[in-house]
Chains A and B, each alone.
Chain A
Amino acid sequence: MATWGMVIDLDRCTGCQACVMACKAENNVPSVGREEAGKGRVLSWMQVLAEPDEEHEGEVKRFIPRPCLQCDDPPCTKVCPVYATYKNPEGIVAQIYGRCIGCRFCMAACPYNAKFFNWHEYQRPTAGQNPDVSLRPKGVVEKCTFCHHRLQKAREQAAVEKRRLLPGEYNTACAEACPARAISFGDLSDPTSEVARLSRSPRVFRLLESLGTRPKVTYLTEGEGRG
């Protein structure tokens, strides 16, 4: 049984937001429009957080790409009243759009604000959408799924060819798109995988680690070159 995880190297991240765009394209995350964005309702499963530099006004100290942190002890799944969000056996925190009643308790509980809500009906079926990912109706919560549909496709392909899933066969859109190769994705339980190796690095840190959410998306701090 795999445990899917991600390591993001902050030393490599340039803040280009290719990961953001790739995620939106892959997962049919709609553009909400200018007016709604102005009201603070942007839908973006992957976001690049720009940490301001306190010493130098107006400058950015570092960029932090933040997908869903896919916690091992998720605060969001505890509070869902209807099993619409739960942690599956492979560690991915899943979201069932068809069951979500839109109470937004999981949004209130997530300390990383990694969950998003469809305040209006933001998307209709149009051309150019990814047919593997369902469109979300209004009134439900959505979030990063580690491109779970890609896992399903890869598994089905492997089953047809009667073989096991190869490492690297299942990759998230953001990891694939990053031009600096800052995002590594893979099976944390496979000791030979790149992700497992990086997650043992001494540069590893977790966001809000003291809360005990045990996120499976970990970060590598900048090297000695940066302050």
Chain B
Amino acid sequence: MAERLEVDELLLDPIRKTGRGFWIAFAALLGLIAWGAAAYLTQLRVGLGGTGLQQPVSWGFYVTNFVFFIGISHAGTLISAILRLSKAEWRRPVTRMAEVITCMVLLVGGGQILVDLGRPDRLLNVIQYGRYQSPLLWDATSITAYLTASTVYLYLPMIPDIAILRDNLHGKWNFLYRVLALGWTGSERQHQILNRAITIMMVMVIPIAVSVHTVVSFVFSMTLQPMWHSTIFGPYFVVGAIFSGIAALIIAMLIFRRAYRLHAYLKPIHFQYLGQLLLVMSLLWFYFTFAEYLTAYYGGEPEEMKVFWSKFTGRFRFQFWAMFTCNFVVPIVCLTRLKKNTIPRVLIASITIVIGMWLERYIIVVPSLSAPRLPFQEGSYAPTWVEWGELAGSFGLFSMFYLLFTKFFPVISIWEMKEGRHQAIGEVMERVKSYLPDTAEPATAHAGGTEVAP
């Protein structure tokens, strides 16, 4: 085994050096952001009329994007917390990237609501005159809690890594690292404090995350619109969020694996496990979707059936069946038998799932508004360049935040890899032994051995 410092030095390379690939990515993302900025400035100037919104479809791309981006935030902290909680050792190279996704995408997701407002200059009215009867205030509170918790949950495990940066990199950013490292010396007591805090956070973050997408779903299910007023929305949205989030996480991992040459850290086994999780989520998503549509169909309520048929055979059939293919058919095909060609299978599945889940949000928001109960205002919503630009710009902004993060901080948790090499193997062995029947003989430590009662 190579000397550990040398192996982990690779993780500091993206911070030390900036290659051509970075600048190309930077320029491309800047282009997307510029398109988004042009779109939003147009909207500020002329009003929301620059979009394709109209009576009665007063919510479209922006609300879809809001739900979509907030949904992606779920895999991050949720997966990191659940994997830590269940002591899954394969999470070590994954958690940092997951946590970063959450923090960055929450900012962009929350921004979508700001973009959707007709009067963004009056945003402070929500603070001053907020009403807790409105699901939007539940959103505001819940997302604030989640953003706070996930930022903390990102920062705390980063402290030992920032200390490594402080000690090894003496460029112009050293001052920043010194401040953020909080005087970390790696002492026993500091480790104890940090681990205790991370443990509390990883338990707290899970109900907060579940509450976030539940209240986002309540924005729809608390109204009386056909096929929105459904009790299944809370769990449905949470499952969809975790589903899309894992897919986004896999894509991010694969991009940085290639860009920063992290093949030694992010091995096919990691993608195999994530791919299996993704398959489970796909089946779970299908279960909820099936339950929702069967209930609507069986009840046969006319106003709901109008929306139902518009999705199945009507004007939204392309989006609906594309969504179904992307979220269920392709994942089933790709993600079974993952041992061979793991990476390509998982990549294709993840990309289609991200697209499919965006379509799913669209299919939830727009058809119900397009076929209102009083069938006299029927609109056909068609997004304009402003809305496409806003989507592109949001995606660009999120990616830019992520890219800049990787320039300043290691994208894989160095100290957790170290901990994995030195402590975790012993701990896991002890744990497995504790599951097995006790024997009178003293334990002999050999890797992979099991004690059998005489």
Contact = CB atoms under 8 A, between A and B. Distances in A.
Given a CB threshold of 8 Å, the question of whether A touches B is answered with: yes
B59 to A, nearest CB: 6
Contacts of A104: 58-59, 116, 118
A80 interface: yes
A113 B131 contact: no
A108 interface: yes
Interface in B184-220: 219
B86 interface: no
B222 A119 contact: no
A93 B219 CA distance: 21
B125 A82 contact: yes
Contacts of A50: 376
A39 B47 CA distance: 15
A155 interface: no
Given A104-B118, A108-B369, A119-B48, A113 B374 contact: yes
A86 B175 CA distance: 53
A107 B119 contact: no
A111 B134 contact: no
A113 B377 contact: yes
Contact of B125 (A47, A75, A101, A138): A101
Contact of A207 (B46, B53, B56, B374): B374
A200 to B, nearest CB: 25
A140 B374 contact: no
B117 A101 contact: yes
Please tell me the size bucket of the interface on A: 35 or more
B55 interface: yes
B119 A100 contact: yes
Given A49-B374, A100-B119, A117-B58, A81 B224 contact: no
B110 to A, nearest CB: 13
A164 to B, nearest CB: 34
Given A103-B117, A105-B136, A79 B223 contact: yes
A102 B374 contact: no
Interface in A68-124: 75, 78-84, 99-105, 107-109, 111-113, 116-121
A111 B373 contact: yes
B111 interface: no
B118 A79 contact: no
B131 A81 contact: yes
Given A101-B123, A102-B48, A108-B369, A83 B131 contact: yes
A111 B219 contact: no
A40 interface: yes
A80 B47 contact: no
Contacts of B52: 39
Nearest to B49: A119
Interface string A31-46: 0000010011110000
Contacts of A66: 374, 376
| Interface residue SS majority, chain B | loop
A15 interface: no
A117 B55 CA distance: 8
Interface in B44-95: 46-49, 52-56, 58-59
Interface residues of B, number: 43
A211 interface: yes
A139 B133 contact: no
A208 interface: yes
A41 B50 CA distance: 12
Nearest to B137: A81
Contacts of A103: 113, 116-118, 136
Contacts of A80: 131, 134
Of B49, B113, B219, most buried by chain A (CB within 10 Å of CB) is B49
B96 to A, nearest CB: 35
Nearest to A103: B117
B54 A101 contact: no
Contacts of A40: 54-55, 377, 379-380
A47 B56 CA distance: 14
A108 B225 CA distance: 8
Of A100, A112, A139, A141, most buried by chain B (CB within 10 Å of CB) is A139
A119 B134 CA distance: 23
B432 to A, nearest CB: 52
A141 B118 CA distance: 9
A99 B123 CA distance: 10
Contacts of B55: 40-42, 113, 116-117
Contact of A105 (B134, B372, B376): B134
A101 B134 contact: no
A112 B104 CA distance: 39
Contacts of A117: 48, 55, 58, 118
Interface of A: 36, 39-42, 47, 49-50, 66, 75, 78-84, 99-105, 107-109, 111-113, 116-121, 137-141, 207-208, 211
16 contacts: A40-B55, A47-B376, A50-B376, A66-B376, A80-B131, A81-B136, A82-B122, A100-B119, A101-B118, A101-B120, A111-B372, A112-B373, A119-B47, A121-B47, A137-B119, A211-B373
Interface of B: 46-49, 52-56, 58-59, 113, 116-120, 122-123, 125-126, 129-131, 133-137, 140, 219, 222-225, 369, 372-374, 376-377, 379-380
Q: Which 5 pairs of residues, A with B, have the shortest CB-CB distance?
A: A102-B118, A139-B118, A119-B49, A40-B54, A138-B47
Given A104-B59, A111-B373, A112-B373, 16 more contacts: A47-B376, A78-B134, A83-B131, A99-B122, A100-B119, A103-B116, A111-B372, A111-B374, A113-B372, A117-B48, A117-B58, A117-B118, A119-B47, A138-B47, A138-B49, A141-B118
